[in-house]
Amino acid sequence: MICDAERMSDGCVLLLRDPPGVLGKRLRDSAETVVIGGGCVGVSLAYHLAKAGQKDVVLLEKSELTAGSTWHAAGLTTYYHPGINLKKIHYYSIKLFEQLEAETGQAVGFHQPGSIRLASTPVRVNELKYQMTRTHWHPTPQFLIGPEKIQQLFPLLNMDKVLAGLYNPGDGHIDPYSLTMALAAGARMYGAQIYYPAPVTGLTPTADGRWDVQTPHGTIRANRIVNATGFWARELGQMIGFQHPTIPVHHQYVVTATVPEVKALEAELPVIRDLEGSYYLRQERDGLLFGPYEKEEKMKLQDSWIRDGVPPGFGKELFESDLDRIMDHVERAMEMVPVLKNADIINIVSGPITYTPDLLPMIGPHQGARNYWTAIGFGYGIIHSGGVGKFLSDWIVSGEPPYDLIECDPNRYAHWTSVPHLCAKARESYGFNNVVGYPKEERFAGRPTNRVSGVYELLKDRCSMGFHAGWEQPHYFHKPGDDSGYKWIEHEAADGGYHVSVSNVTDELGVLGVAGPKSRMVLQKLTDEDMSDTAFRFLHCRSMQHTHTHTHTTFISSQVFFFLVFQMNCDTNPLEAGLDYFIKLNKPAEFIGKQALLEIKAQGLSRRLAFLTLDTDDIDPEGNETVWHNGEVVGNTTSGSYSYTAQQSLAFSYLPLHLTHAGQKVEVELLGQKYPATVTQEPLVLTEPTRTRLQKKQRSE
């Protein structure tokens, strides 16, 4: 099933390798981009860079292509992702896989029987409805189906507990080895050079921001390097002073011999994911393959590799299997798919996959080292490979990311991500793979980190804490007894020749936010500075002395912060977000983005951010819900919540211009039901500028 070299049509293996340590061709002296790592992600990036026209693309692999995690992967492919941005990664990958064989002439072994996520509790059904709410405004094909349709698609299921399913036609599985070889063929076809065995033995930055990449075969001078080394990522990062928070996890899957009931089927079974049983199951030839995700107390980390490094020579080896550790899931699978009870197991694969603390990969330029990029931490590298290769290629070639993927920013971690924190969070993330996910849910393993403010001990028993970039931050306070771009400033400073220095002072500053109609009165008690509206105007900041401690505090407008973080990202622009009030396009300075905004303004907007009030019952918007008008999808919410001040559900949404006037009626989909919403022109409470304006008007009258 899993081979170590070139695969033949009859299943035999043909060894076509140079002797160990022999490169077979002369190493280049220089390169535009050096991709380090020959798994599916690294090879995909080399393919996309070369296809985009970048000259001198080089990929270095320490042993042979697919070594590491790629070669033994189960190869699942799915359009589905609970996040919004990563859906685009999955979508592109599948579309690439569909046409890669025709483009390169290399078979990829791509099967698309579809997939079904099974719901066997009412809560799970609501979760599926929630995901449908967030999908209608994407091109992803996804449907909520009932038991009758599920049994039609997968006739071997025990339907006793099945209530509903989330069906993605076009999902399936691909042969990871063949996929990687097809990407490699494409990369070579477009001009990339792939070298192996070529382990990187050293990385030296040059004064002009380039890199000397040392190998046993010579040194390459590269304009940029990309770390795509899988579970070796931490070791490569250590060469230049980084401790990337990645850790190998033992993941097992079981392969059966031929199952007569499977062999008798006329069509391939869809992949199923039994969410309550926490396993996936698919057809493998005339048998079945299924893999579980154990609970955190049973799963196994290879934490010795953090301490001692990956054993020399490890590449296409596996861990010793442990069927007892996953037996609970095996029994659940046998209950759901009864033909498994009589199936013979012919293989148990137990191999390393890489996890980060939050399960998301680290994609993009890394702060603190010029022209050092990462594509690491992939727990699901096969389905991410195509989309991530395209995403990073577009970013490298154009200088801008094609869309927002901030949740995968490698700089979301820092020195506070200690090894104990990494291990605790990876264990928690693996064990939570198939649990019901709730919006804004907090998970508490590995907390607190060493990032705690001076008031943490005072507040921890008085409030519910949220986790933000390592910090513990109060979300809300309760009474006793109640339940409780980094990737960019450095680049501009260096390339623009500005005389500035950039340093991260996050750990040197403490921030306490005070908001509300009496915030000026509260702050006035803490300083001798004049806090009146005339002396300290709205949207201004200043340094001032605290009357008690002589420290400096910076006050930032909470309204602007809210808009910038939640309503505008690199998928939108300030004019769409209604921030034109804060942008002076007629100022003489050529600030970054000015010309782009002038072009957008000249072309005219097609949509704009609108403020909605919703008529709901016991449900509230959260963001990324589909917005409907006259039976058609017209937009999506960006954020939403219940307002205790207005006693009503509120949301922001991007809508076509003709639907943004006050009083316009639309519908917002929440858990499969459409609720009426109304566009409202003004905030429902008086902001400080509005209050000040009204006060001045009253005084003048």
Nearest CA-CA partner of 354 in 72, 78, 23, 20: 72
Q: Where are the domains of the chain?
A: 20-109+172-246+356-413, 115-169+248-340, 421-477, 518-557, 564-679
Number of residues that this document lists for the chain? 701
pLDDT at 98: 98
pLDDT at 188: 97
pLDDT digits (tens, 9 = 90+) for 204-217: 999 999 999 999 99
* Start-end of H helices in 138-221: 147-153, 176-189
> Higher pLDDT residue, 452 or 499?
452
Nearest CA-CA partner of 289 in 330, 248, 250: 330
**For residue 21, what pLDDT band results from cuts at 50, 70 and 90?**
low
- Sheet architecture: strand order including 164-168: 143-145, 164-168, 115-119, 271-274, 279-284, 287-292, 247-256, 345-355
Residue 181: phi, psi to the nearest 5?
-65, -35
> Higher pLDDT residue, 463 or 49?
49
Distances (CA, A) of 168 to 117, 137, 632, 677: 9, 15, 21, 29
For residues 32 and 55, give the distance between their C-alpha atoms in angstroms, rounded to a whole number.
7
Least-confidence region, from 93-97, 651-655, 690-694: 690-694
Residue whose entry in the numeric block shows the structure tokens 């927002």: 404
Segment (H or E) for 569: none
Strands 463-468 and 247-256: unpaired
* Start-end of H helices in 563-670: 594-603
Mean pLDDT of 499-518: 73
Least-confidence region, from 207-211, 369-373, 584-588, 605-609: 584-588
pLDDT at 282: 98
Residue whose entry in the numeric block shows the structure tokens 């009864």: 338
pLDDT at 688: 75
Please give the distance of CA 27 from its chain centroid, rounded to a whole number: 35
**For residue 414, what pLDDT band results from cuts at 50, 70 and 90?**
very high
Number of helices (H) and strands (E) in the chain: give both, helices first. 17, 28
Q: Could you name the CATH architecture of 564-679? A: Beta Barrel (2.40)
For residues 199 and 313, give the distance between their C-alpha atoms in angstroms, rounded to a whole number.
11
Mean pLDDT of the chain: 89
pLDDT digits (tens, 9 = 90+) for 245-267: 999 999 999 999 999 999 999 99
**Model pTM score:** 0.84
Distances (CA, A) of 390 to 111, 375, 396, 401: 22, 12, 10, 10
For residues 18 and 63, give the distance between their C-alpha atoms in angstroms, rounded to a whole number.
11
For residues 337 and 318, give the distance between their C-alpha atoms in angstroms, rounded to a whole number.
28
- CATH no. of 115-169+248-340: 3.30.9.10
In this model, does residue 580 exceed pLDDT 60? Answer: yes
> Higher pLDDT residue, 509 or 439?
439
Q: Say how many Å lie between the first and final Cα of the chain, rounded.
A: 85
For residues 290 and 33, give the distance between their C-alpha atoms in angstroms, rounded to a whole number.
38
**For residue 489, what pLDDT band results from cuts at 50, 70 and 90?**
low
The three-state secondary structure class of 308 is helix
pLDDT digits (tens, 9 = 90+) for 316-369: 999 999 999 999 999 999 999 999 999 999 999 999 999 999 999 999 999 999
Tokens of 697: 């008007």
In this model, does residue 153 exceed pLDDT 80? Answer: yes
pLDDT at 291: 96
In this model, does residue 394 exceed pLDDT 50? Answer: yes
Mean pLDDT of 125-149: 94
> Higher pLDDT residue, 322 or 516?
322
Work out the percent of the chain whose per-residue pLDDT is above 90: 69
Strand partners, 635: 627
In this model, does residue 6 exceed pLDDT 80? Answer: no
For residues 45 and 61, give the distance between their C-alpha atoms in angstroms, rounded to a whole number.
13
What secondary structure does DSSP assign to 471-526, as a single string? EEEEEEE--TT-------HHHHHHHTT--------GGG-------STTHHHHHHTT
Mean pLDDT of 571-598: 89
HSE-CB for 149 with a 13 A CA cutoff: 16
Q: Assess contact for 628 and 619: CB atoms under 8 A.
A: no
| CATH fold label, 20-109+172-246+356-413 | FAD/NAD(P)-binding domain (3.50.50)
Least-confidence region, from 151-160, 302-311, 352-361, 552-561: 552-561
Mean pLDDT of 90-113: 98
Q: Assess contact for 193 and 28: CB atoms under 8 A.
A: yes
HSE-CB for 229 with a 13 A CA cutoff: 24
Cα Rg of the chain (Å, integer): 27
Report which DSSP code applies to 9: T
For residues 197 and 62, give the distance between their C-alpha atoms in angstroms, rounded to a whole number.
5
